[in-house]
Structure 1
Amino acid sequence: MTIPALPLPKAADGTPVEMPLLGFGTWQIRGDEAYQSVRDALEAGYRHLDTATMYGNEAEVGRALRESGVPRDEIFVTTKLPPERAGKERQTIEASLRALGVDAVDLWLIHWPPHRGRSVKVWEQFVAVRDAGLARAIGVSNYGADEIDELSSATGVTPAVNQIRFGPSLYDAAVVRAHKERGVVLEGYSPFKTTNLNDPVLTKIASAHGVDTARVVLRWHVQHEIVVIPKSSTPERIARNADIAGFTLTEEEMAAVDSLGR
């Protein structure tokens, strides 16, 4: 699998950070199922894993990473701080690192905006964690453009990534443009839950390329340079979702999928 990556701001030690456009999501997968699914994903060629404190599976993700035999520096690892942990940022990231069995994550996100206007204070602690080398890049999840601007203006540090619910039916050119204008990488989760995979637009394109509609959706994200993190616990589906490098959507096909959001 050869899927491009997007450059993020350099890590505190000056090394480059690149985020693969296709990742493997682990929401609602726990225990042995989480471990095996991550092993299957790494075997299929994924090199980007997405987890979170609230998912309760960091230990299984970390064990799968270690036992996979894939070098740590080849795998991009994301985890997230739940908003109720505002004020306990350092303890939370240290607990995540212990569970994952790594010295640093590649990306740490604020999972949702904290209540009572605490975003800026949390973000200041995120910057400190990045500067301490515990997270190579930092970002947010489920934030609006105005909330991102609040963090940038208050601290001078713009989130590298914003992970939001996204898919063809939620496509909004203004949202995509707002992120690009700010230099923020847009990352979409729940690509299939937000999409009617039986839509005639998708089935026609899938038939033309000899693939299933799920892969059309994933390829559409990648060609828009929107990071996407499909989730599955079925080995065959995990491998199939990873197989999107062998075809390219035309400009007309991209526009047709875009139109599902209107």
Structure 2
Amino acid sequence: MRREIISCSTPLCFPKAKIAFPVEEPKPSKVLMVPNEECPCEVTVSREDEFETEAGGGCMVGVKSPFNRIITPMALKIPHFTLNDGTEMPAVGLGTSLAMFGGGERVYQMCLNALKAGYRHFDTAAGYGNENEVGRAIQDSGIPRNEIYLTTKLANPDHNRVQAAFEKSLKDLDLEYVDLYLLHWPQAGKDRAELWGDAVFRPDESPTFVETWKEMEKLLESGKVKSLGVSNFSIKNLEILLPHCTVVPVTNQVELHPCLPQNELKDYCEEKGIILTAFSPLGFPLPNRPGLIKNETIKALANKLSIDVAQVLISWGVQRKTVVIPKTENPQRMASNITLVQLSPEDMKVLDDLHRQPKMHRSIAVSSIVSAKGRINGWTCDEMGWPEHLYRLDI
């Protein structure tokens, strides 16, 4: 067995790993390398022997070895969905709201690790307080900006100052443009200090979300925003918004997972040409709340398929033609989260029917921010257009 050391100086390399590969002739063989158990690189071999190699498995640039062996990024099979304005969005991205629960440097490293693993879609927001770290990771990666899809969002207290808020986001990101700018919530906040608080304007008070959307449409003229969308919008509020739109939202980002499949909303949005994006697709797992990761039905399905629960949930979402933005700091989980599998119709039905089980049809993420008064960022479930029994834990 021939031994060869291949290394890469780029900051995007995973720790080295050593694996032996067989070489098949007459054609070069392509072998998936697995440093740290998961790796988005492949090796092309043209010698008629076996060899053992150590390599920076996550490098994003080709590295030629003395023996004509080349390490290149493997094309991960992540589909892209075409939006109603003709642009394309990767079906899997990385959610970055971790910043609300931890330091900014953690988010910077998380994004760098995701770029190593092959992610090209990142979801942030002014309200997360981490736009600077996300933008810095994108720049430090050395990956061309046009290969990365970036979403950020307008915060509740900024509905009456859309242009200024967007310019601040762009400055914090330190990038020339964003691919997608979302109206984070339909409710406009009164107090800048209360990003998620109850001090909000009522639905019929100015600025309404219709007025805010009209201001967002003007941003497209600058070329600094490629697409516009909404988040946390119900059918009720979309029916108020859409008749006034010159630009139809390309996506509606909502909590979505097998316990809250949003079937009616999905059908409605598809009819209007709007793709759903799923936040908390794993059911908002926290140390004291496992979300769907420990659900026995999903675990059994994952065991049957020899994959992990997150892969099951993410593959289910993508197979339903929804964009999915899980979040994790773990590099191995990042890699597995973008390794999609094709679920059989029978497997899909198991997940599709999960919400029909007793006490399973419910919000897991948004319900955690419902106030003692039963309000979600200051609005009642009726004002949000959401069924109260799915979002309130006290009924």
TM-score by length of 2: 0.62
2:144 to 54, 57, 71: 71
- What do the CA deviations read for 1:119-159 (whole angstroms, capped 9, x no partner)? 01100011100232121000110011121222220133321
Q: CA deviation at 1:85?
A: 0.5
Q: Number of paired residues?
A: 255
User: Could you tell me whether the CA contact under 8 Å between 1:151 and 1:158 is conserved in 2?
Assistant: no
1:134 to 193, 207, 224: 224
Q: 3-state SS of the aligned residue for 1:169?
A: coil
Structure (1 or 2) with the greater helix fraction: 1
> What is the root-mean-square deviation in Å for CA atoms of aligned residues?
1.4
Q: 3-state SS of the aligned residue for 1:149?
A: helix
Quick one: distance in 1 between partners of 2:159 and 2:92?
29
Identity between Structure 1 and Structure 2 (%)? 37
Verify: 1:238 aligned to 2:334, yes or no.
Answer: yes
2:84 corresponds to which residue? Answer: 9
1:18 corresponds to which residue? Answer: 88
Structure of greater Rg: 2
1:164 to 234, 237, 254: 254
Quick one: distance in 2 between partners of 1:87 and 1:106?
22
- If asked which structure has higher relative contact order (CA below 8 Å, sep 6+), I would say 1
Verify: 1:229 aligned to 2:325, yes or no.
Answer: yes
Quick one: distance in 2 between partners of 1:17 and 1:135?
12
Quick one: distance in 2 between partners of 1:140 and 1:175?
13
User: Could you tell me whether the CA contact under 8 Å between 1:25 and 1:49 is conserved in 2?
Assistant: yes
Quick one: distance in 2 between partners of 1:87 and 1:110?
12
1:102 to 169, 175, 178: 175
Q: 3-state SS of the aligned residue for 1:188?
A: strand
Verify: 1:120 aligned to 2:193, yes or no.
Answer: no
Q: What are the ranges of 5 or more consecutive residues in structure 2 without an aligned counterpart?
A: 1-75, 188-200, 285-290, 357-395
Q: CA deviation at 1:45?
A: 0.7
Q: What are the ranges of 5 or more consecutive residues in structure 1 without an aligned counterpart?
A: 11-15
Further displaced range: 126-135 or 62-71: 126-135
Structure (1 or 2) with the greater strand fraction: 2
Quick one: distance in 1 between partners of 2:164 and 2:249?
21
- What do the CA deviations read for 1:153-195 (whole angstroms, capped 9, x no partner)? 0133321110001111111422221111111110110112354
Verify: 1:154 aligned to 2:244, yes or no.
Answer: yes
Query: Residue type of the partner of 1:5?
Result: H
2:134 corresponds to which residue? Answer: 61
2:267 to 177, 194, 198: 177
Q: CA deviation at 1:236?
A: 2.1
2:5 corresponds to which residue? Answer: none
Verify: 1:250 aligned to 2:340, yes or no.
Answer: no
Query: Residue type of the partner of 1:128?
Result: K
